[in-house]
Structure 1
């Protein structure tokens, strides 16, 4: 479901793209030589609990070595972060629904956030995030009071914790029936009126 939304978001930006979906949770892994760009989407639980996570980490390392662009989204951001030495930790307060995200000074100059207002509002759905212990050369591009929201690991490898692929309609429909959304009105309070196409895709 989420992978299809991400595919549709890519195609909204460029209808000429050829997008394939493979399911790592079914131990399907694409040939790196056959693709130009990779995106790893969210999942139903945290990265360290998946049986396929070890193989996925190995493939991420191969993508990085092949110098191909890589975007991790939610769970994808967490497992990409782990490959780069980040710690995945449980948030004190889960982020569910539309939240305001602040772009950092590093993020203001990054192509990922070109043309976006600061702060901007985007859909969130996670109970965990990444953090770094000690000094790092990676760039934190965006954050909320609760956690890091976007990281640039190198010029072509990014991780974002939020879900830019969720439209107001799809996000609201999801939250209405989600048992983890304990305060629906709070979760949709900042919901935008319409979906905004974003250059991330």
Structure 2
């Protein structure tokens, strides 16, 4: 299988849980593609799976990064041509817009570690196998979206109602959180924050609190592996 990774930030982590997963699955080929104003999407077509990584961009302000218009159109094309697409954070928002919804500023930001609740009606979905009724993952976002048409919401938090959603028409999954981040990725990210970035709203904690939360985790790879393995089983069942 050939995987294309779309990278949206120049300082995006060089190694994520996806890289470690690929080391355990040597029959997959991957290529990292930096998406910007120079990207020629017409040349990106020989892949079976596209992974949309996160980014600092806001889809409600695409004029700041107008190449987002072309990326969304490309994802529409990919889905209509039966390409599988997974999105993390910004990536999930790109999928939502490709499926017809609009991304907006969330009423509360989620920065830190949050418990994701699985919807009772979705507990038997193959994507959620072995996850239990809930799990904790790292989040860093201030935007969200409504559920696109012909999609199902599988999981939520109090402030973000579509933490995991799947299309019932196309092979695509959106994860609003960051299971792909390693603990090292998270620690490096937190080093860039000042305390003002992490404090001030109900769903945000002080930087020192998030650092303490992070120390409680030995790895984030187990959750990512379950989600990635389950995603591929669902795509190619």
TM normalised by structure 1 equals 0.87
More helix by share: 2
Aligned counterpart, 2:219: 194
Name which of 143, 150, 171 aligns with 2:164.
150
Greater shift, 156-165 or 109-118, is seen at 109-118
The one of 81, 90, 102 aligned to 2:105: 90
Residue segments in structure 1 that go unaligned for 5+ positions in a row: none
Inter-CA distance 7–31: structure 2 relative to 1 (3 Å threshold)? farther
Where does residue 79 of structure 2 map in the other structure? 64
Asked whether the 8 Å contact 1:22–1:30 carries over to 2, the reply is no
Secondary structure in 1 matching 2:32: coil
Q: CA 1:184–1:171 in structure 2 vs 1: closer, same or farther (change >3 Å)?
A: same
Q: Which structure 1 residue ranges, 4+ long, deviate > 6 Å from structure 2? A: none
Distance 1:101 1:124 in 2: 10
Residues 106 and 140 in structure 1, CA contact (< 8 A), matched pair in contact too:
no
Query: 1:25-36, aligned counterparts within 5 Å?
Result: 25-28=36-39, 29=41, 31-36=43-48
Per-residue deviation, 1:8: 1.0
Give CA-to-partner distance per residue, 1:56-76, whole Å, 9 cap, x none: 111111111110111111111
Count of aligned residue pairs for this structure pair: 199
Choose from 152, 155, 164 the match for 1:139: 152
Select 1:181's aligned residue among 174, 184, 198: 198
Does the residue aligned with 1:90 lie in a helix, a strand or coil?
strand
Structure 2 residue aligned with 1:109: 124
For the pair shown, the structure with the greater C-alpha radius of gyration is: 2
Q: Secondary structure at the match of 1:25?
A: coil
Hey, what does 1:45 align to over in structure 2?
57
Seen in structure 2, the aligned counterparts of structure 1 residues 44 and 95 have a Cα distance that, compared at 3 Å, is: same
CA distance in 2 between counterparts of 1:169 and 1:57 reads 30
How far 1:5 moved relative to its partner? 1.8
Counterpart CA distance in 1 for 2:25 and 2:141 is: 28
Scaled by the length of structure 2, what TM-score is found? Answer: 0.75
1:63-91 CA-to-partner distances (Å, cap 9, x unmatched) read: 11110111111111111101212231212
Contact 1:9 1:165 in 2 (8 A): no
Match of 2:142 in 1: 127
Query: Which segments of 5 or more consecutive residues in structure 2 lack a partner in the other structure?
Result: 1-11, 200-205, 229-237
